[in-house]
Amino acid sequence: MLKAISKGKQITRALTKRLILSIPVLAYLIRRFLYGRKIFERLESSEALYLLGLDFHGKIVFDIGSYIGEITQFFASSVGKKGYVVAFEANPDTYKRLTQRIGRDIDPNVLAVNMAVGLTSGTCHLTVRNLEAATATFDLNIQAQIIAEGNYYECNVPMCSLDDYVASGECDVIPHFIKIDAEGAEFDILRGAIRLLKMYHPELFIEIHGATQALKEKNIENIIGFLESLNYSIYHVESHQEISLRNYRLAREGHIYCKWNL
């Protein structure tokens, strides 16, 4: 008897869900509720908790390394109707999945760009683990690790610097906030955005990568030195500490939030 009641409830819920999702407006509103900020709030990572504490309303966000839009989704919901998100994804396969979500469970205020971002504009060679598409990289040391593992594929993709992209006028917006998750290309991306950083001082949220601990330390040392020279303050999300060249090793893993000093 109890099993029959339970099964009946499951059938009722399934039919109700199907009916609701068949109505486009209701389906869109439900997807926004489930997959915008709400689902992000369920995550317990330091990255998610820190981003939830920032104010994105009405801002322009550049999401570099968007993958299939997990964090893009959060940004799109958070900036609201007056804001906008430009999502850069180099891997053609994951870019396609990203574009399929925009206007469905990701708000339509997103422009997806199928490009890598780096120091200069041109073409770059991308190496991708078959089972981990989010690890697509053009960092030579990380590429060597992936190739040694043996289960990967490669492709050539277009690349731009942020300075060139903004100057091109392809997207007539200037970012207030830039998130970078680029599998080892972080320093190159920053150097390719030096005019943008000097003129407009966007906030930065960067995940640190490197093939080895030594290379991660070198990467964060370069990044901290570069950003300090541009008058940015740096905060390491995981250790909850202000970071400078005196203690940069603390931030060789995890995420840094960077804000220009007025």
Residues 109 and 99 in one domain: yes
User: The domain containing residue 14 runs over which residues?
Assistant: 1-35
Domain count, the chain: 2
pLDDT tens digits, one per residue of 220-240: 999 999 999 999 999 999 999
Residues 43 and 161 in one domain: yes
Residues 21 and 113 in one domain: no
Residues 2 and 67 in one domain: no
Residues 112 and 3 in one domain: no
Based on C-alpha coordinates, what's the Rg of the chain? 20
Residues 74 and 23 in one domain: no
- Give the model's pLDDT for residue 22: 52
Residues 17 and 92 in one domain: no
Q: How far apart are alpha carbons 26 and 31 in whole angstroms?
A: 9
Question: Distances in Å between the alpha carbon of 129 and those of 32, 90, 133, 144?
Answer: 31, 14, 6, 12
Rounded average pLDDT over 1-14: 54
Here the tokens at position 154 are 């490669």
Q: How far apart are alpha carbons 7 and 209 in whole angstroms?
A: 48
Share of the chain above pLDDT 70, in %: 83
- Give the model's pLDDT for residue 170: 80
- Give the model's pLDDT for residue 141: 92
Q: Does residue 6 carry a pLDDT above 80?
A: no
The reported pTM is 0.84
Give me the chain's average pLDDT, please: 87
Rounded average pLDDT over 114-126: 95
Residues 19 and 104 in one domain: no
pLDDT tens digits, one per residue of 201-215: 999 999 999 999 999
Residues 40 and 24 in one domain: no
The phi and psi torsions of 119 (rounded to 5 degrees) equal -75, -40
Residues 48 and 105 in one domain: yes
Q: Does residue 97 carry a pLDDT above 60?
A: yes
- Give the model's pLDDT for residue 135: 86
Rounded average pLDDT over 87-113: 95
Between these two residues, 251 and 25, which has the higher pLDDT value? 251
- Give the model's pLDDT for residue 48: 86
- Give the model's pLDDT for residue 45: 79
Tokens 């593992």 label which residue? 149
CATH at residue 194:
3.40.50.150
CA 48 to chain centre: 12
* Side-chain-side CA neighbours of residue 128 (13 Å): 21
3-state DSSP call for residue 88? strand
Residues 15 and 132 in one domain: no
**Residue pair 207/181 in contact by the 8 Å Cβ criterion:** yes
pLDDT tens digits, one per residue of 153-173: 999 999 999 999 999 988 888
Residues 28 and 146 in one domain: no
pLDDT tens digits, one per residue of 12-71: 555 554 554 455 555 444 444 444 565 565 555 788 889 988 999 999 999 999 999 989
CA torsion angle 146 149 67 191 (round to 10): -10
Tokens 């339509």 label which residue? 108
- Give the model's pLDDT for residue 49: 86
**Residue pair 88/63 in contact by the 8 Å Cβ criterion:** yes
